[in-house]
Each structure stands twice: as structure tokens, then as C-alpha cells.
Structure 1
């Protein structure tokens, strides 16, 4: 999972022969996150977005972003280059030397550029900019710049303290003085700080009497014709939502590739403009009790996909009888957690560079998927820890996805546990976050169109409509649980999403209300919502499924009804619609 802007920035540095300043710790980008602002056609991205969110009244203090992130030379430290993003009232830059600081953590990883200092350059001999002595009368005085900060004539001190202080505004560079505002033609009391300029507007309501200069916008307008900024014009132009999203979106299909015409299957994946597949890999079929692993057919599945340029998400499921507590295919017993971790390490070592992601288990909140009993969240997380460490020991670049609970409002340990409760239980365990890269989740729309959701906009009924578990937009509920846990910057991958059509399987009768044309329209709309409305916290959509109608002995089995191919390999409308969508919405 690579970020386009990171790659572009590195290429720029290589071309310029530039080396970034040394770091105390490597600054690893968080899972992709951004907030798109249609007002300026830009997204606040990753740590810049975190800084924006954590700044009190960010709209007043920072304003809208006016560029995408790019690498630029510091004007206060010539020869040093930082990743920067321009905002209306500030320019933010990442300082890798402050990443994971032993005392400050990441508090000063993102800092505002010293724009006030830059614009005050050459004014050092003006009376207001000359240092003053400490009045020693209780007034706040900064020895670093030898200037005071008070609430006279305007409430500058209160504003400074309430809206970010040192990390946002820096130290004062002047005493308050009167200055003409070139935009309004009026004179205001102002005070310069390292990173901004305060203006006192007594005619405004008390909460708006201190206004900040549009220093980011001002600096760009004054310097945009200079070579250092002229080459960055693309980053400042208006961008569509798709252009401003900071990471490539993953389009994937769930497939059954064991003992199949893989050349034909993988060609259909490529023809669909989908770059990924998700394939289940049952542990029970691969490892014997004596530890021997029979890679056999799985080798062919992986190697053939790699030869076709297809990326793979392996969903590892189903314990061997010898590994589980009760001789079923549920989660392994605790004494066999280390063996599962070793299995995952050997798998990741074997398929390094060929398998890009591993999903650890499947629908662990659903008894039928786990030997007849729901795996408690804490138990699952303990197992996940072994799997994660095993994968990362062999392939640090591989992405580890947590097992995807299935949507259900049921709460019986012999049947299922509501996945919203299950997610909350997993998220409440601190070590969960240290042993997962991406959150896996499953969704299905029954016969409800993608934009519907109980209770505000319910589906047609009469059944499968009175709980959000029956809707694609259940994903919004999962997202809220994620945000409530304090980890809203983590990305969700939808590893199964689909609408059934006509079938004879009990429990899936709703599929008989969906035509194959509706299936296609619903999947396309859900894909659009994930790609744009839910970006970037949804990073992948794996459609359930591509070819199960081909592999199933019963063309009316529910798994076949979810397929986007017919039993004779011909495409359903869903395949064609998704093909067109993926080709035009990268």
C-alpha cells in the first residue's frame, strides 16, 4: 500500500540530489487518512490532517488547505527539505527529528513554518520589533525573543493560549503596534509571532475580535513565480475529490482458484481492471500434525497470480483437527497459538513479494465458521498477536488484516455475537492495535439498495429491513465504533461485499427479490460510496464473488447467486458495470 505523494516526493528529492535531514526515528506514515475540502479542492492529509483536527478552532487558526503535500526547501534552514502542506493561514511541515521524541512523543512532529518570522524579516530595527526588558510585574515575557504577550489592547494572550500556543503560533516577535491591512485598507492593532500575525478587531463579537492573517495564502501569492514554487503549480490547483485522495484504492474479487482454469480466471480479474484477489487458505488443508506443510496447489494459486501481476490477500482460516481445542475447525487452542504463529511465519516467508496481505481468520463472531462456538474477542486477539508477529518476522512489508466479523444483531455464543459489540470488544484491547495494520469487515445488502439504512431511510421490506445489519451502510456503524475507540485514523478493508440473486439456500431467500441488473447497479453504487463518500477510511473493496457460480455444483446455491459470472463463465451485468467503474475511478 503505497502513497502516491510519498513516491512523488522521493522522486523529486532524487532528481534534485537532496538528502532529507537526519532523523532520530523513522517517521512512518499512518494508515491513509484525509479530509477533502471542496471549497479549495484539496485534502488535509495524514499527520497534517491530525494536526488540523487537534488544533482548536482549526478553521480560524489554519484555514482550508490550499495545496496537496509536497517536498520543499526550508526558508529558515536552507539546505534542509521537509514535507509541507500549505493552508490559508499557515504552512505546516513535518519534522522527522521530532518523531517519537523520548519526552514529547509526536507533539512537535508537525510544526507551522515560521511565516511570521519570514514576513517580519528586515523589520528588526522598527520600535515594535526591538527587544524589551522583562517588566517583572506578572506580565508574560519570553526570554527566547524578549517580547511580552498580554491582553492589552486586544486579548492576544488569551487567544494564544486557547488556540494552540507555542506549537501553533510560536513566540512573539514584536510588541503590539498599529499597522495597515493592505486587504481592507484599515489600520489595526497587530502583533507578530514566529508563525502568524494577530489582528485586533474590536468591532467584532468578542469571540472573533482576534483574527489571523492569511499568511499561507499571502506567502504563496508573493512567491509563486519563483522557481522553487513555480514547479509546484500542480499541487496548488483545484483538485477533484478523486485526485485529492492520498492513496490508490484497492479493487478486489473473492475467487476460488484451487483446481480451476486459473489462466482464464486471472485474465478475467485483469480484464475487470481489478488488481487484487482474496483467496481463502484453510490451515487444515495445509499442515499435518507432525508439522509438515503441503504447499502444493496453494503454490500454484499464488505463483500463477504473481505471474499475471495480480496482488493477493490470503484469508487464513480453519484450524486442523489436531490444533483446535475440540477437534473441529475453530480457532486453535492456546497451546497451539505458537504453532499457528510459526505457520504464518513460514507462509509469509514462502510468499514474500507474491502475497501482499494476510487476513487472520474469517467471521470469528459467527459460530458456524468456528467449530460451533463464537471465539471471544480477547481470545481472538491473543491468537492474532502470534499471527501478526509471525508474518512481520518474515515479511515486514506484508499487510495484516484483522479477521472480518459478519453483520448480525444476534447475541448467542452458540450462534453469533453482534459484530458491533465484537468490534468494540476487540478495539478495547490495547494490544490489538499493535498487532494489526488494517481492520477487516464484511457487509451485505440483502435486497436493500445501497443508499438505504434503518431507521431513517429503510429498504422496501417486508423483511430484512428493521435493523442496520441488513444494509450496506452498516459500515457507517462500524466506522463509528472505530472512531469511538479513539482509532478513527485506522483504515477499514471490506473483504466481502455483495448482493445475492435467485437461489434455493435457506436463509438467503432475499436474493430472489434481486435481479441480476439490480445486483450490478447496487454493487456499482456501493463501490462509488466506498471510493469517494467513505474515502480514505475505506481503502479496499473485495466483491463477493467472481467465479463461485462456475465452481459450484449447484448453480442456485447462495454462493453462486452472489457471483458476477454465470456458470458458463459469461459476465453478468455486475461484472461489466464494475469493470467500467474500476477502469475510470482509480
Structure 2
């Protein structure tokens, strides 16, 4: 090792090494310059259709822009995007809006409507790991006010640009509730803490509760609790005054979009059972936003369907909600595109590959929103 370092330190070798470093630096790819074009509008025959983007970990701005261009071109005016609290406020009181500003800027330029999902917890707002190990989904009551302050800061910064926010994600699942027993009363308290500051920051904001995960988990399950039971418990905990709309997830699994709902079945129309609970508690005036839904066409996953079925069921779900759910403001399918291949069954939820190649389902949904009929013949062009 000493001999190698000695040879490296010789003047001629150091000069060559410096030259090599300079050449590598000079030959590095130039950053792609992103220029906003004229403001766009979405052309669609279904104004409630949407997709869940996955821009949270997309670091290159041109890819953010291209993703949202393709969403608009598919004819789906709604998107859901996740804005993690730890990414924006990694240190208490110090905010980094760089990435979220870029996303919101390009969403507005493409004429899309953004539903912002807010959640996760920075390390500074969690227990000392020397005393208690926790995950990024662990939020205790002592830090509800801190989370509310973050929500208010977000709502104020994007007032007039982002008027729909979802408070947390799938709180009826244990792993989304910090690997603790789920607690609808505690979640209702979180809504009470957040609601006032959010509306003070943006009087026009729609504060959504949820988004509830469709699950059949019974009382006492370590994994979570049925969304139907959980929603009823939220009402029992007096959550109603503290949310303006309900966000829900509506995965179809192997059922067609029009398969009837049942309390012992997870399918797309399970939304109707949640709606019945809302009506029973006097919340008929509130709207439902489906912020995740969809089918998977992995060739071997037990909960997947064939690619042609996925297309039929997806378009069928958009159309079912448009025609039969006047209380539904959006149907957002998971997931438009991942920043990189996951190399598992999750890739088979996407509409576009990581390198922006449209899948057949993208072309078919695009044809549906344009009223063009089927579009698979475009693949050969």
C-alpha cells in the first residue's frame, strides 16, 4: 500500500491523475434544461379520471415535466402525489420546498388538478431511537401540532394551486400507523388538530380524511381494521366536522369493475358501502375522492388479471363512477409510472415504463378519454 501511494505521489502521476479527473468532469452529461411551455389544458370526456403519479423520488426535473405531459395527453385531469413531511422539513422549522415547487409548477403548467397526500414523520418528531425504535409512519399525539403546522405551511405556500389535501394514508392499516394497533379515535383527534390551521392557511382547501385501505381485517387483527368498521368508528369519535371529503382506495383485485359490493369482498364498488355509512351519519353532502384504485396484470401474481381484462376493468371503473356516482369527484388509478423499475409485481400496475414507453393500457385509456375507441393499432406506428 505504501509503495502504491508513493508511486501515485510522483509529480508526473499526479499531473496525469488531475488531467483524468478534469476530463471526466468535462465529459459529464450536461443537465437537461427545462423550459415551461405555454399553459396547457386537459382534453377529456371524463372529468373525474385520474392517475397517481410517483414523483416523490424523481430527482430530474425534465422527468417530472415529461411524466405530467403524458398524464395530460392521456386525458386524465386528476393526479395524486405524495409530499413527505420529512423531505420538506427534515429539521424542525427549516423547510426545503425545491422539489415540491417543481412538481406544483409543472402540474399547473399542464392544467392538471393535484391532490396532495401529506404524511410520514421526520426523525426530529419521533421518539429518541435509543429509547424506542419507530418507523416513518409513527406519529404520536405529542407531535400532532407539529404535523398540523407543516400542513398549514404547505396549504399556505400553495394556496390557489393545491386546494385538495389528504391527511395521512391508510390509517386503518397497522404499518401505516407506525406498526401500532390502529386507532380511529386517535386519527379523529389528528383531523381535529389539522383542520383549523389548514383552513386558516387556505380557506378554499378541501381537507380529506383517509385514505382508507380496503381490507377485511376483523376486530383485534394485528394487521389493521376493516375500512367499513374504521369509518364508523371515526364518526363515533366525532370526526365529521373535521374533514370536508373522504379519500378512499378502491382496488378491484380479480373482480370486474361492475361486480356488486359486499361486506366480505374487496372490489372497486366497495366505495358504495362507505358511501352508505357517510349517508347514515348525515354526511351525504360530502364527496368521495378515490385516490388509489386499479388492477394488476402480472402474469403470475394471484391477485392479477389478464392485460385485456385490466384495460376493460380500468375503463369500466372510470365510466361506472362517471355515470353512477354523482358524489364521486375523482377516480385515480395506481400508478402512472415509477421512477425506476421495481422488478416485482408492482411494475404491472403502471401505465408507462420508467423510460416513458406507453403501455397498451395507456393508449386504450387515451382513446377512451378522446372518444376514439380502441387504440392498440397505434403500437405499430
- Please report the TM-score for the alignment, with normalisation by the length of structure 1: 0.51
| Conserved? CA contact 1:329–1:370, under 8 Å | no
Q: Does 1:355 align with 2:355?
A: no
> For residues 153 and 261 of structure 2, what CA distance do their matches in structure 1 show?
45
C-alpha displacement at 1:317, in angstroms? Answer: 1.5
Partner of 2:273: 477
Partner of 1:275: 77
Partner of 1:259: 59
> For residues 281 and 554 of structure 1, what CA distance do their matches in structure 2 show?
20
Partner of 1:579: 366
C-alpha displacement at 1:567, in angstroms? Answer: 4.0
3-state SS of 2:168 partner: strand
Which of 357, 375, 381 aligns to 2:182? It is 375
Q: Does 1:316 align with 2:118?
A: yes
> For residues 468 and 366 of structure 1, what CA distance do their matches in structure 2 show?
17
Distance 1:386 1:583, change over 3 A: farther
| Conserved? CA contact 2:261–2:269, under 8 Å | no
Distance 1:392 1:454, change over 3 A: closer
C-alpha displacement at 1:382, in angstroms? Answer: 0.9
> For residues 174 and 237 of structure 2, what CA distance do their matches in structure 1 show?
22
3-state SS of 1:408 partner: coil
Alignment of 1:64-143 (within 5 A): none
C-alpha displacement at 1:413, in angstroms? Answer: 4.9
- CA-to-aligned-CA distance 1:439-469 (integer Å, 9 cap, x gap): 11001111111122466xxxxxxxxxx9312
Partner of 2:337: 547
| Conserved? CA contact 1:364–1:374, under 8 Å | no
| Conserved? CA contact 2:248–2:289, under 8 Å | yes
> For residues 374 and 581 of structure 1, what CA distance do their matches in structure 2 show?
42
Which of 183, 202, 214 aligns to 1:407? It is 214
C-alpha displacement at 1:370, in angstroms? Answer: 2.4
Q: Does 1:468 align with 2:239?
A: no
Give 1 or 2: higher helix fraction. 2
Partner of 2:35: none
| Conserved? CA contact 1:349–1:394, under 8 Å | yes
| Conserved? CA contact 2:195–2:242, under 8 Å | yes
Partner of 1:525: 316
How much is the aligned-residue C-alpha RMSD, in angstroms?
A: 2.3
Structure 2 regions of 5+ residues with no counterpart? 1-44, 373-381
Which of 307, 310, 320 aligns to 1:516? It is 307
3-state SS of 1:304 partner: helix
> For residues 113 and 261 of structure 2, what CA distance do their matches in structure 1 show?
36
> For residues 300 and 388 of structure 1, what CA distance do their matches in structure 2 show?
26
Structure 1 regions of 5+ residues with no counterpart? 1-242, 456-465
Partner of 1:559: 346
Which of 426, 437, 444 aligns to 2:234? It is 426
> For residues 276 and 446 of structure 1, what CA distance do their matches in structure 2 show?
22
3-state SS of 1:493 partner: strand
> For residues 454 and 342 of structure 1, what CA distance do their matches in structure 2 show?
39
C-alpha displacement at 1:566, in angstroms? Answer: 3.2
> For residues 545 and 290 of structure 1, what CA distance do their matches in structure 2 show?
32
3-state SS of 1:473 partner: helix
Partner of 2:378: none
Partner of 1:538: 328
Partner of 1:296: 98
Q: Number of aligned residue pairs: give it.
A: 318
C-alpha displacement at 1:393, in angstroms? Answer: 0.9
- CA-to-aligned-CA distance 1:38-57 (integer Å, 9 cap, x gap): xxxxxxxxxxxxxxxxxxxx
Alignment of 1:13-412 (within 5 A): 249-257=47-55, 258-260=58-60, 261-324=63-126, 327-411=134-218, 412=220
- CA-to-aligned-CA distance 1:119-169 (integer Å, 9 cap, x gap): xxxxxxxxxxxxxxxxxxxxxxxxxxxxxxxxxxxxxxxxxxxxxxxxxxx
C-alpha displacement at 1:520, in angstroms? Answer: 1.0
* Higher alpha-carbon Rg: 1
Runs of 4 or more consecutive aligned structure 1 residues displaced over 6 Å after TM superposition = none
| Conserved? CA contact 2:296–2:348, under 8 Å | yes
3-state SS of 1:541 partner: strand
> For residues 323 and 292 of structure 1, what CA distance do their matches in structure 2 show?
13
- CA-to-aligned-CA distance 1:193-248 (integer Å, 9 cap, x gap): xxxxxxxxxxxxxxxxxxxxxxxxxxxxxxxxxxxxxxxxxxxxxxxxxx9xxxx9
